[in-house]
Amino acid sequence: MLGRVEAQGSLLEARLTDAHLLTRGSVYERLAEHGHGIIRDEDFAHCYSDRMGRPSIPPSVMMRAVLLATHDKCSDAEASRRTRVDLDWKAALGVDRDFRGIGATTFSLFRARLVLHDAERQVLEATVAKAVAAKVLRGEVTAIIDSSPVTGAGAVADTYELVRKTMGKLARAAGEGIDAELAQRVWALAAAKADIDWHDPAVRKAHLGELVAAAQALLEAVDIDDERVAEAAGLLAAIVDQDVVRDDDGEPEIRQGVARDRVVSHSDPQMRHGRKSASRRFDGHKLDVTTDEATELVLDVDIRAGNAADGDAAAPAVQRVNDMLAGVAGDDDGDDSAPQVTTLVGDMAYSDGDVREAVQAVGAKMVAKVPPTTNAGRFPKTDFAVDLDADTPSATCPAGVTTTTTKKTKDHKGRATFAFVFPTATCAGCPLRSQCVKSRRGGRRVQVSVHERRIAAARSAQTDDPDTVALLRARAKVERKIDHLQDLGMRQARYRGRRKTRLQAVLAAIVANVNRLDVLGAFDTAPATPQLTHAA
């Protein structure tokens, strides 16, 4: 049952009795003074029964506690201790000086409630609503988006370990659903790492054959009508399929190269191989952060697969933020005055034409630097003057030759487009041929993208439009915010799975916003009547 803070309050609250001891300018002081304005018990009512059970610790108190644990990067056991002995924490929680603390297991139970009911975003929205109410976030919003790797909490394993561990998971899920002989065979392989000569390729291959044969026998024997069994069976089948191939003799061997969307951990199957750059690889998830350019408030965070494309996050982020802004603007001002993201700024990972089109479809303009084009030292496409708006489209090469001849073709995604084709005879006698055409035969071709006009306009704006140039320079603000979130623990996932890691990201974003709201003076513009609270 939902527990609530007592409306009449208490004169023994730590924030009142020990105000002189409170760390000034800290997140503890900010939560003590303003926490009641953004974290309310009624916002979590849907997470609790309205009739059954004894009253819980008020969820507003619990939410403040998990935010403090995020800020201080402490374990549940340490957080429990601080709720009992730390005056800064007691003041921030809004509890009495003699508050006996919160049990360590209560933290994990509360996080489970937040995940189950998708309730943590309510507080993130409340911090944004505070900025809207204070008029520091209004009108046409320019948002900035970027991503960052988050190392997963699961153990990365090789193929042998992945097959062995997932076989054990499936055997446990199936229980007595498999015959004793097969169970004994599976457990003999799954119980511990094999004691073999791992330096001998032939021995390793023979052991792989044993594992794969047992895995296939187990998959054929289990009943997938059971949800837990089906999940474990699907994971085992995926791992065998992604990592194992058959040689010419039909024997299993390790696949060369990395399969697409490869599972890398048996303890967190949602982890993926990812790359932040050509030289920087990670195993885990991808954090997407969207901030307001003017206020530097975090407007949205999300956790996706580590191998997901950055650009795919842009349009969904704009849609979520605009839906949130429309909801928090309030009924008094009307929907027409609600702040809305009209411009989204990103780095070159967001410059693809499809991304720009998707962002435009949700009501915003994508501003991102177009990557320079290269052609192995020869004239790139950008050295050709392409005119698609004339009655007869044309392309003019660096030598001044114009062609209107086109040929149908397809782009890298299989979509129909066309290419301008320069005459073979003209290119053959051109003094610039060696700088333009690679083949010894034929003339130069210039393929036209399905987003040619959009990309050309963006390329021109990034050098000729002062507003666009300024926005591209402002993009660094989101990198600072990501650094702040990483300082709050977002370099490493504390929990397994994307959903729990998303909870971690939202909590970090809330802490960052509470600090930022104080810097912006948003807490001072519409002061609330001090509210004394007391944890039940």
CB 311 within 8 A of CB 349: yes
Residue ranges of domains in the chain: 14-132, 159-254, 381-464
Q: What whole-number distance in Å separates Cα of residue 525 and Cα of residue 234?
A: 55
**Residues 390/392/397/402 CA torsion (nearest 10 deg):** -120
| Sheet of 385-387, strands arranged across | 385-387, 394-396, 402-403
Q: What whole-number distance in Å separates Cα of residue 147 and Cα of residue 183?
A: 45
What residue type is assigned to position 131 of the chain?
A
What percentage of residues in the chain have a pLDDT greater than 70? 95
What residue type is assigned to position 400 of the chain?
G
Query: Within 10 A of 124 (CB to CB), how many other CB atoms are there?
Result: 23
List the alpha helices (DSSP H) in 486-526.
Answer: 498-520, 522-525
Query: Within 10 A of 16 (CB to CB), how many other CB atoms are there?
Result: 16
Q: Which of 99, 117, 130, 103 is nearest to 36 (CA)?
A: 130
Q: What's the half-sphere exposure (Cβ side, CA atoms, 13 Å) at 526? A: 12
Q: What whole-number distance in Å separates Cα of residue 174 and Cα of residue 168?
A: 10
Query: Within 10 A of 453 (CB to CB), how many other CB atoms are there?
Result: 14
Beta-sheet pairing, 281-292 with 140-151: antiparallel
Name, in order, each residue with C-beta under 8 angstroms of 527's C-beta and a sequence gap of 6 or more. none
CB 362 within 8 A of CB 321: no
- Predicted confidence at residue 130, as pLDDT, reads 93
Query: What distances in angstroms separate CA 468 from CA 149, 299, 310, 368, 465, one per listed residue?
Result: 27, 22, 21, 9, 5
Query: Within 10 A of 515 (CB to CB), how many other CB atoms are there?
Result: 16
Helix (H, G, I), strand (E, B) or coil at 421: strand
Q: What whole-number distance in Å separates Cα of residue 390 and Cα of residue 387?
A: 6
- Predicted confidence at residue 442, as pLDDT, reads 86
Name, in order, each residue with C-beta under 8 angstroms of 264's C-beta and a sequence gap of 6 or more. 156, 157, 271, 272, 273, 283
Q: What whole-number distance in Å separates Cα of residue 176 and Cα of residue 485?
A: 47
- Predicted confidence at residue 18, as pLDDT, reads 81
Geometric angle at alpha carbon 182, from 176 and 188, rounded to 5°: 105
Q: What whole-number distance in Å separates Cα of residue 8 and Cα of residue 432?
A: 86
Q: What whole-number distance in Å separates Cα of residue 396 and Cα of residue 311?
A: 32
User: What is the SS3 assignment for 241-307?
Assistant: HHHEEECCCCCEEECCCCCCCCCCECCCCCCEEEECCCCCEEEEEEEEEEEECCCCCEEEEEEEECC
What's the full length of the chain, in residues?
Answer: 536
Task: Indicate the angle between helix axes 498-520 and 104-117, nearest 10 degrees.
Answer: 100
Q: What whole-number distance in Å separates Cα of residue 62 and Cα of residue 89?
A: 12
- Low-confidence stretches of the chain (pLDDT beneath 50): 331-332, 334-335, 526-536
Output the six-digit token pair for 371: 């990557």
